[in-house]
Structure 1
Amino acid sequence: MISQNALDLFAANRAAMAAGDAPHLAAQVLPGPDAVSVTRDVAYVSSAEGASLSEQMLDVYRPADVAAEHPLPVILDFHGGGLYYGSKENNACRDMRLAEKGFAVVNANYRLVPEVSFPTQLQDAMSTLVWIRDHADEYGFDLENVFVTGDSAGGALALYLCAANSSAALAGALGLGTVGGVSGASEASGVSGASSVSGVDVRGLVVTSGMFRLTGGVHATALSYYGEGYFQTPRDHILMKPYLDLDKLIVDAGASFPPVFMMTSVEDFIADNTYELARIFHARHRDHALKVWPRGRERALGHVFHIVQAGDPSAREASEAIEDIAQFCRAYVR
């Protein structure tokens, strides 16, 4: 049961965040059709799995000068917004700019809190990975080179997805073992050597300004309200409580958890979340890289700055951050 106070908080925050995003979204300069080809609003769940909602849609971006049948490395992206706000349109410009650099980018919506809880959002995330597996030929996806990224709360979604995808036992513990037909998917995927739950081995994970703490910490008071939406039922609490401990999540994900690139800035109000995760990766001897941007010289480099500023051609540091993501992915392409 979600209290009225929590519902009011979600509603107020959604309105405030939409108002804050409106100016830069209206002013942004998107790559043109001569640079990026766009396929919009593709449903990633079938009618057999339930009625398709606008939140269960995705866009696909590809460089316009690459034939559709030519397989490209894939970047699957989840937008931020505290798990209760946002849409793929918020990330469209940044993702199109990644596509210009030689990637097929899948920009996915997911159902939002408080209409659903976090475990259901993880089901949506796994469904997008299965959709990529099943539509590789149609959209020119190179299934040997799939990367996952997420910003802010989308970073948490991406992190938990990659952990679950790396371990059948963990996927089962999180209630994801049969999402989208992933049970036995590796045998059916046709991907050489695929050993993951979805049948797609993720080559790398990129998380920017990640909101990895879903409870406790310096934002414990606010998270106590948000948690009413994140974990709405006894089942939600049973599934998630052990894995709110990020160290346990990473340990149980096993050795096949992909290399990780983390990016934040000293002006990011939740930079501590990234520092904590980096400490865990270091302690567990997992392949990772961390970039912390200093205070911006030309403009503030706040939370998810490279997405907010992606549509501003003069935002030099945002452009460099986008190139950093592309370079990390290129380094792990087979």
Structure 2
Amino acid sequence: MTTNLRAEYAEKYGLTDDIIKKAEAWTETDGDLEGLSEERVRGILDMRFGAIAVDTPRSELWHTPESIDVVADIPYLPDGGYDKENGQCRGHLLDLYLPHDTVLRGGKTLPVYIDIHGGGFTYGYKELNRNFNVHLADMGFAVFSLNYRPAPQTDLKGQLADVEAGLRWIKAHLDEYPVNPDGIFLTGDSAGGALTLLTLAIENNAEAAAAFGIDEPSGIEFAGAAPVCGAYSSASLETMGSEPTIGYDPNRRIGLEQMLGVGFFDGLEAADPKFLTAEGLAFNVDLPPLFIVTCGDDFLEADNLALATALSRKGADFELFDPKPRRHETLGHVFAIGMPWLKESVECFERLRAFSYSRC
């Protein structure tokens, strides 16, 4: 069944075998779908193959300049996991990006960003965000880029457990790198934005940690965070992955339940709604300073404005970057991640740097 559906969705999105093979450098395609219902396989393939169709032309622009050093595929958990053939679960790897000049200078002064990629909880690995991470490093940050297991390999609690394991590894190894241990920030886009806010709740609220099943938060005292076009409401979560720019069919509507199965959100009764809405997070968690990124044609703009509104009512420290598309142009969802060369993206990076450096 999976083979036939793979061919069907490859034809739908105009993907050749070579394109799909190349895309497997930054995402799962269909290797983890055996045993699922046809409905779930269809939902996941539609999400993944539609996203591959958009990301493939962008991937031609992905590069790492000589001024940035990369330490790739560091295991943060010693397991065989899903990818047993290679002896390491791909979901339990991370990358580190460092400005080469900082490596030469040494010292412990470089601020740190930890990046959690997006992808509707089922698409993408850390490699998907390489250009975003390169731009952050070029702006004067060390960047740890985290993998986590995509659905259907695990559920939301499992993904949060992966993130926490990665954070514990980073905290234990910070002194090996030329970074400032008091200047650590968290970022994530779309689904990664949701995981960013939930991770901040876990790190800053014992009740939230218990509600999400985390016995051992990392204990990192984040100086701030920069969620990008995050999903913070149940209504948005139900339709994440349906934004037309992800694929070429403007009428596709894929809810997370179809893609991920009803069990993806199991066991979160104690977290809902206190830690599963923008308002709940803002009023029940002492969040660090936030740099919130969205734009006028981001399909999750309302979620991000709701978060900013709640933080404003609380009197919390935050900045909102919400540019409007210029006439005859679009920005769309996670524009700074997928297209960091845009004028608005350049401004976003500059403001993000100023925000972060002022809070170290």
TM-score (norm 1): 0.83
Residue matched to 2:65: 32
Residue matched to 2:278: 246
Alpha-carbon distance in 2 for matches of 1:329, 1:83: 27
Q: 1:52-74: CA deviations, max 9, x gaps? A: 31121111011111126422211
Alpha-carbon distance in 2 for matches of 1:48, 1:293: 44
Residue matched to 2:115: 77
Residue among 47, 65, 72 paired with 1:13? 47
Map of 1:1-334 to 2, 5 A cutoff? 4-28=38-62, 30-33=63-66, 35-47=67-79, 52-67=88-103, 69-71=106-108, 72-178=110-216, 182=217, 198-215=218-235, 219=239, 222-223=254-255, 225-226=257-258, 228-229=260-261, 231-232=263-264, 234-235=266-267, 237-242=268-273, 243-253=275-285, 255=286, 257-296=287-326, 299-310=329-340, 312=341, 315-333=342-360
Alpha-carbon distance in 2 for matches of 1:5, 1:299: 36
Alpha-carbon distance in 2 for matches of 1:175, 1:325: 32
| TM-aligned CA deviation for residue 131 of structure 1 | 1.4
**In structure 2, what residue type is equivalent to 1:32?**
P
Alpha-carbon distance in 2 for matches of 1:101, 1:65: 12
Please tell me whether the aligned partners of residues 79 and 87 of structure 1 are also in contact (alpha carbons under 8 angstroms). Answer: yes
Please tell me whether the aligned partners of residues 80 and 152 of structure 1 are also in contact (alpha carbons under 8 angstroms). Answer: yes
| TM-aligned CA deviation for residue 231 of structure 1 | 3.9
Please tell me whether the aligned partners of residues 118 and 190 of structure 2 are also in contact (alpha carbons under 8 angstroms). Answer: yes
**In structure 1, what residue type is equivalent to 2:55?**
D
**In structure 2, what residue type is equivalent to 1:307?**
I
| TM-aligned CA deviation for residue 232 of structure 1 | 3.4
Structure 1, gaps ≥5 residues long: 183-197
The secondary structure found in structure 1 opposite 2:215 is coil
Distance 1:239 1:160, change over 3 A: same
**In structure 1, what residue type is equivalent to 2:191?**
A
- Comparing 212-221 with 102-111, greater Cα deviation is found at 212-221
Alpha-carbon distance in 2 for matches of 1:174, 1:101: 34
Q: 1:258-311: CA deviations, max 9, x gaps? A: 01111111121221111121122122222111121111358421111112112x
Please tell me whether the aligned partners of residues 57 and 108 of structure 1 are also in contact (alpha carbons under 8 angstroms). Answer: yes
Please tell me whether the aligned partners of residues 153 and 210 of structure 1 are also in contact (alpha carbons under 8 angstroms). Answer: yes
C-alpha RMSD of matched pairs (Å) = 2.6
**In structure 2, what residue type is equivalent to 1:270?**
L
**In structure 2, what residue type is equivalent to 1:70?**
G
- Comparing 257-266 with 39-48, greater Cα deviation is found at 39-48
Identity %: 30
**In structure 2, what residue type is equivalent to 1:212?**
Y
Distance 1:299 1:245, change over 3 A: closer
Structure 2, gaps ≥5 residues long: 1-34, 241-252
Q: 1:147-175: CA deviations, max 9, x gaps? A: 00011111000010011101223212211
Q: 1:239-271: CA deviations, max 9, x gaps? A: 543432332333332x3x201111111121221
**In structure 1, what residue type is equivalent to 2:272?**
K
Distance 1:66 1:215, change over 3 A: same
- Comparing 243-252 with 157-166, greater Cα deviation is found at 243-252
- Comparing 146-155 with 278-287, greater Cα deviation is found at 278-287
Q: 1:69-128: CA deviations, max 9, x gaps? A: 422211000111111111211211121111112211111111111221111111111112
Give the length in aligned residue pairs.
Answer: 307
Q: 1:196-236: CA deviations, max 9, x gaps? A: xx22100101011112224468849743625854743743x
Higher relative contact order (CA closer than 8 Å, sequence separation 6+): 1
Distance 1:49 1:113, change over 3 A: closer
| TM-aligned CA deviation for residue 176 of structure 1 | 0.8
Alpha-carbon distance in 2 for matches of 1:4, 1:79: 27
Residue matched to 1:187: none
Residue matched to 2:250: none
**In structure 2, what residue type is equivalent to 1:65?**
D
Distance 1:249 1:142, change over 3 A: same
Please tell me whether the aligned partners of residues 216 and 223 of structure 1 are also in contact (alpha carbons under 8 angstroms). Answer: no
The secondary structure found in structure 2 opposite 1:142 is strand
Distance 1:202 1:22, change over 3 A: same
